[in-house]
Amino acid sequence: MSRVCQVTGKKVMVGNNVSHSKRRTKRKFLPNLFNKKFFLPEEDRWITLTVSANGIRTINKNGLNAALKSAKVKGFLKTI
């Protein structure tokens, strides 16, 4: 499973750990992802999406169909 949100497109970022002596080592910033099931009433079926916490808030605000439509337009979601 790739660590990419299917609604917002958030993915792993790379940065540095900085110690007290300012020595830098590489690290990863992982997105806050969940595997969540949503019900599509138009198609009368459940779909499973990998979404971030921000993606869940987007779905709650705009609705599932609008969020999926914008994700397809932006290229974050291939098929459902």
Longest CA pairwise span in the chain (Å): 58
Q: What's the pLDDT at 2?
A: 85
Q: What's the pLDDT at 56?
A: 97
Complete domains list, the chain, with CATH: 13-74 (2.30.170.40)
Q: Which helix (H) or strand (E) holds 64?
A: helix 64-74
CB-facing half-sphere around the CA of 21: CA atoms within 13 A: 2
Dump pLDDT digits (tens) for 15-60: 999 999 999 999 999 999 999 999 999 999 999 999 999 999 999 9
Global pTM value = 0.86
